[in-house]
Amino acid sequence: MCAKSKPDLDAAYALKTPEDSRRLYAAWAETYDAGFAEASDYVLPKKVAEQFVDAGGGGAVLDIGAGTGLCGQALAVLGVTQVDGTDISPEMLEVAQKKRVYSTLFTADVTLGLPVSDGHYDGVVSSGTFTNGHVGPGALDELLRVTRAGGLLALSINGVHFETWGFAQKLDALAGQIVDLRLPEIRFYGAHATGAHKDDTGYVALFRKR
Rounded to an integer, what distance in angstroms lies between the CA atom of residue 49 and that of residue 157? Answer: 14
Say whether pLDDT at 2 is over 60. no
| pTM confidence score | 0.93
**Looking at residues 46-71, what average pLDDT do you find?**
98
So what's the pLDDT on residue 5?
56
So what's the pLDDT on residue 3?
40
Say whether pLDDT at 96 is over 90. yes
**Looking at residues 14-24, what average pLDDT do you find?**
82
Residue 34 has φ and ψ, to the nearest 5°, of: -80, -40
pLDDT tens figures, 114-163: 999 999 999 999 999 998 877 999 999 999 999 999 999 999 999 999 99
What percent of the chain shows pLDDT beyond 70? Answer: 98
CATH number (3.30.365.10, 3.40.50.2300, 3.40.50.720, 3.40.50.150) of 9-209 reads 3.40.50.150
Q: What is the 3-state secondary structure (H, E, C) of 76-114?
A: HHCCCCCEEEEECCHHHHHHHHHCCCCCEEEECCHHHCC
